[in-house]
A and B are shown apart, each in its own frame.
Chain A
Amino acid sequence: MSKEVVITFMLVLFVLHQDFWFRDDATLILGILPIGLAYHMAFTALAATAWLVIVRFAWPKYLEEEENEGNEQ
């Protein structure tokens, strides 16, 4: 996965965080969670997923080399 894809991913998440769409909506999801709060909980889960993808597919190669060098030493 290229660095450009990771940056784009992060920018999209940043825009999604701004949440203009629920700013004045007081609906309670399941009668408990205000929709604005539920949205940001979903956003948090999405952020964790994004980091899982990055860790899995875009882990910096120089760190692996660094560790290999350290082990050889």
Chain B
Amino acid sequence: MTQALIVVVYLILLLVLGYISSRLFRGNSNDYFVASRSIGPLVLFMSIFGTTMTAFAMVGSTGESYRVGIATYGKVASSSALIHSACFFLVGLPLWALGKRNGFHTQIEFFRARFESSNLGYLLFPILVGLIIPYLLVGLMGAGSVMQGVTRGAFPEIFTSTGGAVPPWLTMLVISCVVLYYIFAGGVRSAAWANTFQTCVFIVMGFIAFVTISSKMGGMQAASAMADPGKAVRAGNLTEMQFLSYCFIPLSVGMFPHLFQNCLTAKSAKSFRLTLVAHPIAIMITWIPCILIGLWATGAVMPDGMTPVIPEGTSPNAVLGMMVGKLATPIIGGLVTAGIMAAIMSSLDSQFVAVGTMFTKDIVVHFFGVDRFSEKQKVLLARVFICTIVFVTYLFTLAEPRSVFSLGIWCFSGFAGLFPLVFAAIYWRRATKVGAYAAVIGSAITWFILFRNSDYGANGSYLVGGVMPVAVIFLTCAICMVVVSLFTLAPSQDTLDKFFKRKP
């Protein structure tokens, strides 16, 4: 009961924040979609970091650490510390400069102009939105799992089917409505403010969870001593080829539509400097407590010294919620749950705004012309499309649940697989329109075939020849882009002058 009340109070705080930022909303689409390109270094960093840390980073990492041990940090987090910043530097900065110079609001506007093809946008749009849906699913499912874990037994008369816990469908519905409210109130500016606030909340609450749980287990040394030693090493949990090929996963940030939009909000190039340096440290501060909690969960027992905190057969998604729910006081449990919700919502908001922007700019305005709709109508169209996507995602969450970590990896694999497209667009003058089509179609088909072969993500250990599927998707995209570009007509001189005015 206490946990649920604290989460409700936190959600009300967010609604107030949304209301305040709506008072600053300038009412035009440029402000709604890219905050009039006015975001400074601190808010940009918090916003980008908050966006990249979702249920995958907290719920997923704890569950995966419980399942395969500490290798979880090396295979995703420490590689991200290096590669995320590299993507911001090599992709985010040049795109910011090109976006500012040419007035781009979305990735698709950039690709259409760079590859001189309107239809490329119509091909990319369903693929990008289709890949965002599993990302949204990860967030909503993570929120539902955690809330169910920490409120078990709190409402025995109201929620009988879940043992008195708040059912996931209700948590997901409430979370969706709160995020929709504050982004509708102020667009990307509101999302940036909320992200800044929420990033602070989830870092602080993650630390509190870590300290509380370790204290309850008799201190950090006692907790580590109780853990399964087999999970304290990489050997036996992950092959070398798996570990190596996991390095492709963080490249996904170079193709996330919502991060592209976040980058465009920057006031100046210098605004990125803090993000490049602080992002790796922030990843460590967020991930390490979760990895250790997951490791400790492998040997954690209740105060009777016999009953395991995590019963055998528990879903990895539920590990963090159960550790917090069983080992923390109700108030701490509530605060930590609010922190986890903060991490999840700080990604959902940017993703919601990005799909709305893409629909309005890349489909509606592009098809009907820029003067066909008023500024207010454009914002309204974005909102209607966002609601539709959220509704579709919500229906998916009611189907058979998948592991948050596994689903996240498939989503990131799709975006990372398309990385050669954006890299070639920025750095390779010879990259052509037909090469871009081949790269997008080739990687989309490869992704779908491999996803189907993994039983649509249900087989979390699916590999292709011993490597992660992302490596195959990435190589398909790169090969298609290079080979087809070399055999087709080069871009016009006008386009080359526009995009290669200066050496990025």
Q: Which positions in A face B, CB cutoff 8 Å?
A: 10, 13-14, 17-20, 22-26, 28, 30-34, 36-37, 40-41, 43-45, 47-48, 50-52, 54-55, 59-60, 62-67, 70
Q: Which residues of B contact A40 (CB under 8 A)?
A: 73-74, 77-78
In Å, the complex CA distance between A19 and B280 comes to 18
* B4-12, B200-208, B271-279 - the one binding chain A: B271-279
Partner of B232, one of A36, A55, A62, A63: A36
Asked whether, in the complex, the Cβ of A14 is within 8 Å of the Cβ of B247, the reply is: yes
Q: List 10 A-B contacts (CB under 8 A).
A: A13-B82, A17-B247, A18-B240, A24-B235, A31-B224, A32-B224, A37-B288, A44-B284, A45-B281, A47-B78
With contact pairs A51-B85, A51-B280 given, residues A41 and B100 touching in the complex (Cβ less than 8 Å): no
Which of B74, B97, B229, B295 has its CB near the most chain A CB atoms (within 10 A)? B74
Partner of B234, one of A28, A31, A32, A36: A36
Partner of B504, one of A18, A28, A59, A60: A60
In Å, the complex CA distance between A32 and B244 comes to 26
Give the interface size class of chain B.
35 or more
With contact pairs A37-B291, A44-B281 given, residues A14 and B82 touching in the complex (Cβ less than 8 Å): yes
Q: Which residues of B contact A26 (CB under 8 A)?
A: 229, 232-233
Asked whether, in the complex, the Cβ of B81 is within 8 Å of the Cβ of A47, the reply is: yes
Asked whether, in the complex, the Cβ of A10 is within 8 Å of the Cβ of B74, the reply is: no
**Chain A interface mostly helix, strand, loop or mixed?**
helix
Asked whether, in the complex, the Cβ of A47 is within 8 Å of the Cβ of B224, the reply is: no
With contact pairs A10-B86, A44-B81, A47-B78 given, residues A66 and B232 touching in the complex (Cβ less than 8 Å): no
Asked whether, in the complex, the Cβ of B225 is within 8 Å of the Cβ of A31, the reply is: yes
Partner of B277, one of A13, A36, A48: A48
7 smallest beta-carbon distances between A and B, as pairs: A24-B235, A34-B232, A63-B269, A31-B221, A48-B280, A62-B502, A40-B78
Asked whether, in the complex, the Cβ of A34 is within 8 Å of the Cβ of B288, the reply is: no
Q: Which residues of B contact A64 (CB under 8 A)?
A: 269
Partner of A24, one of B81, B224, B233: B233
Which residues in window 342-401 of B have CB below 8 A to A? none
Asked whether, in the complex, the Cβ of B100 is within 8 Å of the Cβ of A23, the reply is: no
Q: Which residues of B contact A17 (CB under 8 A)?
A: 74, 78-79, 82, 247
B19 CB–A CB distance under 8 Å? no
